[in-house]
Structure 1
Amino acid sequence: MPHSEVLAPTMQPESARARVLIVDDHALLRTGVANIINQEIDLEVVAQAANGLEGVEAFDRHRPDVVLLDLRMPVMEGVEAIRRIRELDAQAKVIILTTYDSDEDIARALTAGAKAYVLKDISADALIGCIHEVLGGRTYLAPAAAAKLAERVTRVQLTPRELATLRSMADGKSNKEIAAELGISERTVKAHLGHLFEKLGVTSRTEAVKVGTRRGLVRLD
């Protein structure tokens, strides 16, 4: 009888697995997301980082195929981390995974070069689907993020000076203090406030700050 050769099972080569970097300041979330990703035969988490700066360093060291990145982190925030990562590799694929869904946050992240924007309430299957979409060269937006971005397009935007006035007002500064800070007259500050109220659809400073916070224009840290 001819000799029958027993072949070993074909193993998935390590190089065929897409390499993932997770950047988030919550260790428990990183662990949970890593467990989900590592269950996939074509994905593996090669590194984790606890803030934006560590994330940039980890990207430079490991050169992953895709990065999962939180938006608000200590040391360096997500948007700045995206910029730094894309300076290292203009083709870097970054997915924002966050709890923040204001149109300002979404727009800043996408402008910086993020390929996807999803919220942390996403299902495991949807997250894996998102990673595959981005690895395939496509963009991916959570439905809520897409809706807010569409709403932003139809909304009147604030000028840089109006935005600076809003943020100073959110810090509790008076018209006189805002004028001194921006190097303009109190009369000009009042004019900016009038335009702000009209564009935001409000009638008071308190309402302006509330709407500005909801839209991500102002952060009350």
Structure 2
Amino acid sequence: MSKSAGNLRLVLADDHAVVVMGLEAVLSLEPDMEVVATADDGRTAVETYRRERPDLILLDLRMPDMDGVEAARQIRREFPDARILFLTSYETEDEIQQAMASGATGYALKRSKAVELVQAIRTVAGGGTWIPERLVRRAKEAADSPVLSGRQREVLSLVSKGLSNKEIAEVLGFSESGTKQHLRQIFVKLGVTGRAEAISEAMQRGILKVDE
């Protein structure tokens, strides 16, 4: 398909070649969009932006050498008007806040439909802000809900490692009934009814990290 002079020039930065190939295939169907370069790590993303001066760069959140958040910070320091859209599989409140604080004005998920991704690109490239409604709603729910205490976070972290109530009590230095009381409070605050659901909800909210 021929490209016009009014194209949106895009740079794609992701360390997974299959993801980049898929994005290129999707965006090639848009007559006014052109992928001018790709990068497979954060440092190369910054260098590529500097060289190409695209209308928009799509950044993955997790990349080798330099993560997407630091790459976005460096790009914005050098180019204050840069349009940056994160495209990632991570969707916790903490990760979204870090991404947007780095200077990006868009946050989209890799599981987004093609039409939603294209809309996100057009919105951010045009100077707007893009965050999927479901992520905005989840962030509001998290902000409105009670925050877990430090001890409750410790309990939940040990639960995620598969420890029993007795083992958690031994590690943290209180009774088994104390563990049960903490768990009841955690379940109420997270709006869940069991351990597995609590772990899942906490990970979605960014309370628990995958590597904890």
2:3–2:34 CA contact under 8 A, matched in 1: no
Matches within 5 A, 1:64-143: 64-143=54-133
Query: Within 2, Cα distance between the matches of 1:159 and 1:111?
Result: 25
* Equivalent position SS for 1:140: coil
Aligned residue identity for 1:215: R
Superposition CA RMSD, Å: 3.5
- The TM-score, its normalising length taken from structure 2, stands at 0.72
Query: Within 1, Cα distance between the matches of 2:149 and 2:113?
Result: 38
Query: Within 2, Cα distance between the matches of 1:62 and 1:11?
Result: 17
Query: Within 1, Cα distance between the matches of 2:146 and 2:75?
Result: 31
Deviation at 1:50, TM superposition (A): 0.9
Q: Which residue of 1 aligns with 2:24?
A: 34
Moved over 4 A (4+): 156-160, 166-171, 196-202, 206-212
Larger Rg: 1
Aligned residue identity for 1:48: T
Deviation at 1:152, TM superposition (A): 3.2
Deviation at 1:60, TM superposition (A): 1.4
Q: Which residue of 1 aligns with 2:50?
A: 60
Query: Within 2, Cα distance between the matches of 1:120 and 1:12?
Result: 27
- The TM-score, its normalising length taken from structure 1, stands at 0.69
* Equivalent position SS for 1:80: helix
Deviation at 1:131, TM superposition (A): 0.9
Q: Is the aligned partner of 1:45 residue 2:23?
A: no
* Equivalent position SS for 2:9: strand
Q: Is the aligned partner of 1:17 residue 2:7?
A: yes
1:106–1:149 CA contact under 8 A, matched in 2: no
Query: Within 2, Cα distance between the matches of 1:67 and 1:159?
Result: 38
Distance 1:24 1:169, change over 3 A: same
Matches within 5 A, 1:69-218: 69-156=59-146, 212-218=202-208
Structure 1 residue ranges without an equivalent (≥5): 1-9, 175-185, 187-192
* Equivalent position SS for 2:139: helix
Q: Give the paired residue count.
A: 198
